[in-house]
C-alpha cells in the first residue's frame, strides 16, 4: 500500500504547493492595496520599503493560504480519483474510505504542525514587522505626513485635511482637524487659516502654531462650544518606534508568556486585554487544526460528487471552509468573557467539523 499512499500523497503535495502560492499572491495583493495609501501617499515611502513590506506579508499570509491550499488539493485530487473511477478500483480491492483518506490525514497533520509554528512564531513576527515598516516609513520624515490635498489618518484619534501648503516656509493653509470621540476624548473639529510646522525630535511631537482658528465641539456635559482663537498651539504626539502595541496578534507565544508572568507589564493590561492574551493560545492551536479538519471533510465530499458534478463537492467544500473560518472569527467574540466558555467556543468549529466528517464518511461508505 506504500505505492498507493505515495501516489496520492505526491499529487496532494504538488496541488497544495500550487494552491498556497496562488492564494498567498492574492492575500499579498489585498494587503498591499490596503497599505499602499499609508505607505506611498501619506508617508511618501521609497519603493525599497514597499518591497520590504511585501516580503513580510508573505510569511503572514501562510496562516490562511496553507489551509485553503490544502483543502483545494484534497478536493481536486480525490475528486479526480473519483471521477476517473480510480477510487472504485481501490474500494473493490478492499480498501475502506478511511484507509484511502490516510494520505490526506497524515499530510494534514504535518501541515497542521507547520501552521501551528507559523501561528505562534512566524505570523506574529511578520505582523509586527509590517506595523514597524509602516511606522518607520512615517517616521523617516514626520513633516511629510502633513501633505496637502489628502485625508490624513496616520495619527491616533485624529483625521486631518489640509487645503494647501508651502514646503519651503513650512506653512500650511486651510487646516481641518477632526478629533474622533475615542479613549475619553470628546468630539471636536478645528479649522485654521494657516499653521507653521515644527518637529520636536527629542519628544517626537509635531508642533503646529495655528492662526485664525475656529473650534467646534462639545464638552463632557454635552454642551456645544465654538470659540475663535487668533493664535494657538496644537501638538500631535507621534508613537515611539520602539513601543509595541498591546495586541495579542503581535506577540509570539513565548512573548505572551513573558508578558503575563511579568507583574510590572501585566499590571498595565486591562481585564479585557488580559483575557485576550490568555485566550490567544487556544485560538492559535484551534486555528492550526484547520488542515486536519479539511482533510476529514474534503475526502468524502470529493467522493460524493463524483457521479454528478465534481464542482458540486468542490463548491460545498469551499462553502464549509468559509463557514469554518467565519465560525472561528465569531468565536473570538467570546474572548472578552472570563471562565472556561471562551476555550470551549474557540474549539467548537473543530468539534463540529469532526462530527460532520464522521457523518460524511458514513454516507460515503457504500459509494465506490
Please provide residue 232's backbone torsions phi and psi, each rounded to the nearest 5 degrees.
-155, 150
Is residue 159 within 8 Å of residue 187, measured between CB atoms?
no
Provide the pLDDT for residue 105.
92
Residue 46 pLDDT greater than 70, yes or no:
no
DSSP 306: T
312 lies in some domain:
yes
148 lies in some domain:
no
C-alpha 334, offset from chain centre:
18
Please provide residue 38's backbone torsions phi and psi, each rounded to the nearest 5 degrees.
-60, -35
Per-chain mean pLDDT for the chain: 79
At what angle are helices 47-83 and 310-331 packed, to 10 degrees? 130
Final residue before a domain boundary, out of 185, 217, 237: 237
Q: Are residues 101 and 125 in the same domain?
A: yes
Final residue before a domain boundary, out of 237, 258, 287: 237
151 lies in some domain:
no
Q: Are residues 46 and 168 in the same domain?
A: no
- Range in 29-38, 157-166, 212-221, 256-265 the model is least confident about: 29-38
231 lies in some domain:
yes
Provide the pLDDT for residue 1.
58
If one compares 83 and 253, the residue with the highest pLDDT of the two is: 253
Final residue before a domain boundary, out of 237, 259, 279: 237
Q: Are residues 279 and 168 in the same domain?
A: no
Q: Are residues 128 and 259 in the same domain?
A: yes
3-class DSSP state of 141: coil
How many CB atoms are closer than 10 A to CB 141? 12
Domain count, the chain: 2
175 lies in some domain:
yes
Q: Are residues 161 and 200 in the same domain?
A: yes
Which residues form the domain of 223? 156-237
Q: Are residues 217 and 262 in the same domain?
A: no
Amino acid at each position: 500500500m506504500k505505492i498507493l499512499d505515495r501516489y496520492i500523497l505526491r499529487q496532494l503535495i504538488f496541488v497544495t504547493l500550487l494552491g498556497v502560492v496562488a492564494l498567498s499572491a492574492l492575500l499579498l495583493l489585498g494587503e498591499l492595496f490596503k497599505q499602499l495609501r499609508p505607505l506611498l501617499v501619506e508617508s511618501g515611502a521609497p519603493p525599497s520599503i514597499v518591497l520590504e513590506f511585501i516580503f513580510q506579508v508573505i510569511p503572514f499570509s501562510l496562516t490562511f493560504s496553507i489551509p485553503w491550499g490544502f483543502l483545494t488539493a484534497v478536493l481536486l485530487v480525490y475528486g479526480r480519483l473519483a471521477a476517473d473511477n480510480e477510487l472504485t478500483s481501490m474500494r473493490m480491492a478492499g480498501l475502506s474510505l478511511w484507509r484511502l483518506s490516510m494520505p490526506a490525514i497524515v499530510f494534514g497533520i504535518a501541515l497542521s504542525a507547520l501552521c501551528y509554528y507559523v501561528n505562534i512564531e512566524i505570523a506574529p513576527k511578520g505582523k509586527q514587522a509590517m506595523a514597524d515598516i509602516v511606522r518607520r516609513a512615517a517616521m523617516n520624515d514626520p513633516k511629510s505626513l502633513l501633505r496637502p490635498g489628502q485625508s490624513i489618518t496616520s495619527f491616533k484619534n485624529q483625521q486631518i485635511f489640509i487645503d494647501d501648503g508651502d514646503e519651503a516656509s513650512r506653512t500650511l493653509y486651510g487646516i481641518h482637524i477632526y478629533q474622533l470621540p475615542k479613549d475619553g476624548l470628546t468630539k471636536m473639529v478645528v479649522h485654521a487659516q494657516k499653521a507653521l510646522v515644527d518637529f520636536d525630535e527629542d519628544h517626537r511631537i509635531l508642533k503646529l502654531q495655528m492662526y485664525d482658528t475656529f473650534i467646534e465641539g462639545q464638552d463632557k456635559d454635552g454642551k456645544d462650544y465654538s470659540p475663535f482663537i487668533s493664535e494657538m498651539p496644537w501638538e500631535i504626539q507621534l508613537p515611539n518606534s520602539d513601543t509595541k502595541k498591546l495586541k495579542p496578534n503581535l506577540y509570539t507565544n513565548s512573548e505572551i508568556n513573558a508578558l503575563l508572568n511579568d507583574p510590572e507589564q501585566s499590571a498595565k493590561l486591562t481585564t479585557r486585554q488580559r483575557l485576550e492574551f490568555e485566550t490567544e493560545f487556544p485560538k492559535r492551536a484551534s486555528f492550526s487544526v484547520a488542515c486536519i479538519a479539511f482533510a476529514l471533510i474534503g475526502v468524502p465530499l470529493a467522493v460524493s460528487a463524483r457521479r454528478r458534478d465534481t464542482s458540486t463537492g468542490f463548491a460545498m467544500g469551499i462553502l464549509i471552509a468559509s463557514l469554518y473560518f467565519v465560525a472561528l472569527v465569531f468565536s473570538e467574540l467570546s474572548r472578552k468573557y472570563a471562565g472556561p466558555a471562551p476555550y470551549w467556543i474557540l474549539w467548537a468549529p473543530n468539534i463540529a467539523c469532526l462530527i460532520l466528517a464522521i457523518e460524511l464518511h458514513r454516507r460515503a461508505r457504500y459509494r465506490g
